[in-house]
Amino acid sequence: MRGGHFPNYENQDVSWKTLKQLIPYLLEFRTRVFFALFFLIGAKVASVTVPYLFKLVVDDLNAESTSQVIAVPIALIIGYGAVRLANVLFGEIRDTLFGRVTERAMRRIGLTVFNHLHSLDLDFHLSRRTGGIARDIERGTSGISFLLRFMVFNIIPVLLEIAFVIAIFLYNYDGWFVAIIMSSILAYIAWTVKATEWRTRFIREANEADSKSNTAAVDSLLNYETVKYFNNEDYEAKRYDTDLASWETARRKNRLTLFALNSGQATIIGISMTGMLLLAAHHVSLGNMTLGDFTAVNLYMMQIFMPLNFFGFVYREMKGSMANIEQMFSLLRQSPNIKDAENAKDLNVTQGAINFKNVSFHYTDDRPILKNISLTIPAGKKVAFVGSSGAGKSTLIKLLYRFYDPTSGQIEIDGQPISKVTQKSLRKNIGIVPQDTVLFNSTIGENIQYGNINATNKEVNTAIEHAYLSSFIEQLPDGLETLVGERGLKLSGGEKQRVAIARTILKKPPIMLFDEATSSLDSKSEKFILKAINEVAVNHTSVMIAHRLSTIVNADIIYVLHHGEIIESGQHNELLKLNGHYASLWHLQQEEEKQDSAEPV
């Protein structure tokens, strides 16, 4: 099945430890966090004062004195309005102060994950789910925003408000009021936590289904031409619909469990409110409480349960957010297999000589790719590797680029083991024209300048000329501003490879690698490109992987690989005289070219 490996959401533990991972990102704005909490407390103090002032207004309006009716309630009503205004203003100030904290944390974490993904090795990216990972990062950063905002703006305020209300009831009213409040809050929280934990796995299932369906869609659209070539639109639609059906099922379970959760919460709130009002009415009838007290009790209960009811939603969403954040942080826990050695130094290329010393490599123990390879690529020379498919030619380039480390043996550049130098400095000194050139969905000019983002226009134009791209670009209405499309699909294979060659020329590395660099070119273009390669290879160490032997006849050394071993080496004419494996490949290709030229067009 396409799409790579998907995480096991079922067994993934989501704990409150996730919050600890966010603390370093909050400490950047300690002062803002402090003042946000200060105004948060101020808003809650104002909030719990509102019912008490309302009680005083009701009691005074119920009094018999006319002077009190006119004077005192007016002052209390003005005070009541001022307190409500303070509650709103303090809340807005708190939101404004904390907003930047949340946004900066999202930015920092998003950048950290992005950088980490680029630090992971080739193995991870060969099996990654591009669409799924993008969704993991998107949901994770959104989850951070939700978690931080609601933790500070809802969880803490609700706890403060409950503490203030309990203190007021203990001071002013019967202990039974506090008992009802405490028991109802405990019952509400217990039910919310238990039901939410039950629901969390359905949230995970929905997220997994969402990632899978998004991955399927992105994968299919990236391979649009392949779908069309094989007339498989219906197959892709059915496969995508299968993933959407899983998402629909998970969402339905999520919705039904949400109904159960909300129903339980509503029942607890209803029973508690009824019990409190019955008790308050009883005390009013006994004369122990005023009508204003009855009103205050009702307002306090509403004031507790409204945010507490929202707390249920917040807790559910926080658990979901933590699941999303945890999935994003799990990407950060992915450790690259290829790491810089401790105290690794920058590679210092003085000549560009490359040595492979007893290098062996395998992906799995039962499938050896390279077997005890020892060879020298002299500085400033052009060396070619030839052999049948699967002989290990491209693997040599991957090892030289340190996408993988040898299973055994060592590779050196100018006597420096590449495992002991930084990967950044190693790759800075190597340029490559890959067999499968993938371009960014940008302009031709930007794709060429990617080889050296600080290059001048003159340097870019020189690289274009060396890659024989000038006439092609001049024919385009938008010239260098022409968009190449997703993965460069608007260009032909040959045009893409010329862009790749120009990009590598612009990088000006001392070591240049060409992996089937002319495989997608016609004979005329190939001639020009080979001329360009020969020109730019002067005073550079050049390594060429070739299938067509005609492209490497002028190489200084040709190594013939067969089943992961060097079986022949030498110059073209020397290898032909050996009448061995290379000579057989050469004669076979010459016959094929004769047949192709003889066939009518």
Residue with tokens 């000589």: 353
Q: Are residues 154 and 33 in the same domain?
A: yes
How many angstroms from the chain centroid is the CA of residue 31? 30
Do 379 and 495 belong together in one domain?
no
Tens of pLDDT, residues 180-237:
888 888 888 888 878 877 777 777 788 788 878 888 888 888 787 778 777 788 888 8
> Confidence class of residue 14 from pLDDT cuts 50, 70 and 90?
very low
503 falls within a domain? yes
Domain extent, residue 121, equals: 17-332
Residue 518 and residue 504 share a domain: no
The full length of the chain comes to 601
Is 359 domain-assigned? yes
State whether 308 and 403 are in the same domain.
no
Q: Quick check: is 89 in a domain?
A: yes
| Residue at 5 is within a domain | no
349 shares its domain with 477: no
The domain boundary, picked from 332, 360, 387, lies at 332
Is the domain of 300 the same as that of 424?
A: no
Composition of the chain by helix, strand, coil, percent to 5: 65, 10, 25
Q: What is the 3-state secondary structure (H, E, C) of 528-563?
A: HHHHHHHHHCCCCEEEEECCCHHHHCCCCEEEEEEC
Q: Which residue has the higher pLDDT, 54 or 219?
A: 219
362 CB contacts (<8 Å, ≥6 apart)?
368, 369, 370, 407
Same domain, residue pair 533 and 549: yes
The yes-or-no verdict on residue 488 having pLDDT over 80 is: no
More confident call, 59 vs 496: 496
Phi-psi region of 107 (alpha: psi -120 to 50; beta: other; left: phi over 0): alpha
Tracing tokens 């006319």 back to the chain, one arrives at: 66
Q: What is the pLDDT of residues 32-46, one digit of tens each?
A: 777 777 777 777 777
Q: Is residue 399 part of a domain?
A: yes
pLDDT tens track for 436-458? 777 888 888 888 888 888 888 89
Q: Tell me, what's the pLDDT at 525?
A: 67
Is the model's pLDDT at 76 over the cut of 70?
no
C-alpha neighbours within 13 Å on the C-beta side of residue 552: 33
| pLDDT value at 97 more than 80 | no
Domain boundary pick from 489, 508, 527: 508
Q: Are both 285 and 315 inside the same structural domain? A: yes
78 and 141 in a single domain? The answer is yes
Q: Is the domain of 243 the same as that of 320?
A: yes
% of the chain exceeding 70 in pLDDT: 81
Q: pLDDT tens-digit profile of 307-345?
A: 666 666 677 677 777 777 777 777 777 777 788 888 899
Last residue of a domain, one of 281, 297, 332: 332
SS3 (DSSP) at 433: strand
How many CB atoms are located within 10 Å of the residue 588 CB?
A: 11
Task: Please check the confidence at residue 595 and state whether its pLDDT lies above 80.
Answer: no
Structure-block tokens of residue 337: 């297999």
H helices of 62-71, in order, are 66-70
- In-domain check, residue 279: yes
Q: At 444, which CATH number?
A: 3.40.50.300
| Percentage of residues in the chain having pLDDT higher than 90 | 14
Q: Calculate the alpha carbon distances from 171 to 284, 286, 428 in Å.
A: 17, 19, 73
Angstrom distance (rounded) from CA 520 to CA 517: 8
Tally the domains of the chain.
3
- CA-to-CA dists, residue 463 to 468, 501, 523, angstroms: 9, 8, 21
C-alpha dihedral, 27 to 30 to 33 to 39, nearest 10° = 170
Asked if residue 474 lies in contact with residue 437, where contact means CB atoms within 8 angstroms, the answer is: no
Q: Per-residue pLDDT averaged across 399-424, rounded?
A: 92
Pair 207, 221 in one domain: yes
Measured CA to CA, the distance from residue 308 to residue 265 in angstroms comes to 10
pLDDT higher than threshold 80 for residue 24: no
Question: Do 311 and 414 belong to one domain?
Answer: no
Alpha-carbon distance of 125 to 147, in angstroms, equals: 30
Closest CA to 402 of 417, 415, 390: 417
Q: Express each pLDDT in 240-265 by its tens digit.
A: 898 888 888 888 888 888 888 888 88
In the predicted structure, residue 68 carries a pLDDT above the cut 50: no
pLDDT higher than 60, residue 8? no
Q: What is the CATH number of the domain that holds 29?
A: 1.20.1560.10
Among 6-10, 397-401, 495-499, the least confident range: 6-10
Query: What's residue 309's pLDDT?
Result: 65
Average pLDDT value for residue range 555-580: 92
Instruction: Identify whether 582 is part of a domain.
Output: no
- Look at residue 262 and tell me if it is in a domain: yes
Q: Mean pLDDT throughout 297-304?
A: 76
> What's the confidence (pLDDT) of residue 385?
93
Instruction: Give the pLDDT confidence score for residue 293 in this predicted structure.
Output: 77
